[in-house]
Structure 1
Amino acid sequence: MADQPKIADQQTQQSSPAKLILAIFLTPIFVIGLILFLVWLGLHPHFPSFHIQNFSVPGLDQLNGFRSANITFNVTVRNPNRSTWIYYESIDGSVHYKDQKVGVVMPLLYSFNQPPKNTTILQQVFGGTVTMPSANNHRWMEIMNDRTEGTVKFSLQLASIIQFKKSIWDRRHHRMHADCDVEVGPDGLIVPSSVHDGCPVNLR
């Protein structure tokens, strides 16, 4: 029984050099991997970001319905990258109430290059292309019910083909889609809680 501690000590002494060699071998690999990951985070292009600044649907307080409206909006588009430009072939826009498209503009903005750390303003009026549900339409009744409850939710959808320029990681063309949910009050004006809201962006 007295020999058992000695055997354990010998096994510990034999395993210690092996652990040291393993640590010396793995540490540089871990450090190099960490450095590469940080470089990837710094150079990998980030999606553009969209934020709602203003949105209004004049005439929403007309209880008897209406067939057309001038929907106005203001959205900022931000390139968050430090050194990568973003090229947009164009940006198309449409406004939806639930599953019904009530307005579309193609394009909102023609092709352009957005520099790094730049913010572009999309400001547009959906004029003759807007068709709201009429008073006898069930969608209009839903709008009026929402209005009675305090807010009406619309969706401003923005689409484009984009490319990250001066990026060593990604030179492909992507289909970009931003979906901006925005709520307006009974007067058709954007509610404060929707101002500066970010829009989820998907790339394919």
Structure 2
Amino acid sequence: MSESPSCCQCCTSFIFTLGLTSLFMWLSLRPSSPSFYIQNFYAPALNNTTNTTGATINTTISIDFKIKNTNKDKRVYYDALNITLYYPQNQSIPVGNTSVPEFQQGHHKTASKPVTVQPVEISWEDAVKNVSSNGTVRFTVYLATSVRYKIIWWITRRHRMKVHVDVNVDKQGKQIEEKHIKLKSAAHDGGSHRPSFSGLSAFFFVLLTVW
């Protein structure tokens, strides 16, 4: 005569199953941070093929951003993208800034956001000399925003993001990198800005502890 499972065995089995279910839900619902790239970067003042002596210097810089929502089933809501430009001679003071209005992005979609930074306040004469003697000059682009994710019918809280990248510019005023340049998390922000679900994580931890 076979013995029926004990109450303890049933509880253990139930908790284990619930824990696995919680883990699956956490992995499936956890969103991935969007990816930011620079497709084109153009500083016309550094283009020595078009500038002539006595011509008015164009102190603007054009940047074309590509933004990818890598989530297959999650919509992303972006607050305004705040873009700040630095020049290496003085990294503590921004030389220009602009912004992109808030927008939303469907799952697995890519958006193109061109911007113009104006005026860019650097010594353009010195910059032209540097690019002529060294072949390139470098700018640093910072992008800061907050994002929310729509998961089924639920919209998450805001997750702050700050990313940056160095862009090397040649004598034609264009970025020397042929491929898209990916912006990476700013070092002082502690690395990745991958969102987390603290409540679900704590619940899963308690289940494992009890089990």
Please give the range of the TM-score, normalised by the shorter of the 2 chains: 0.5 to 0.7
- Over the aligned positions, Cα root-mean-square deviation in angstroms equals 3.3
Distance 1:133 1:38, change over 3 A: farther
Letter of the aligned partner of 2:79 in structure 1? E
C-alpha separation in 2, matches of 1:154 and 1:134: 13
Query: Segments of 4+ in structure 1 off by > 6 A?
Result: 26-35, 167-170
Q: Given residue 178 of structure 1, which amino acid in structure 2 is its aligned partner? A: V
Q: Is the 8 A contact 2:131 2:170 kept in 1?
A: no
Tell me the equivalent position of 1:112. 103
Distance 2:105 2:73 in 1: 11
Q: Which has the larger radius of gyration?
A: 1
Please give the TM-score of this superposition, normalised by the length of structure 1. Answer: 0.67
Return the offset for 1:57.
0.7
| 1:95–1:157 Cα contact (<8 Å) kept | yes
Which of 179, 185, 196 aligns to 2:180? It is 196
Local SS of the residue matching 1:55: strand
Deviations 1:97-129 (A, max 9, x none): 120422111x32x122211111111101223x3
- Structure 2 match to 1:87: 77
The answer on 1:43 being equivalent to 2:43 is no
Number of the residue aligned with 2:61: 71
Letter in 2 for 1:73: I
Which of the two has greater strand per residue? 1
Unmatched runs of 5 consecutive residues or more in structure 2: 1-11, 186-191, 196-211
**Cα distance in 2, alignment partners of residues 157 and 39 from structure 1:** 34
- TM-score w.r.t. the length of structure 2 is 0.65
Aligned residue pairs, count? 169
SS in 2 for 1:190: coil
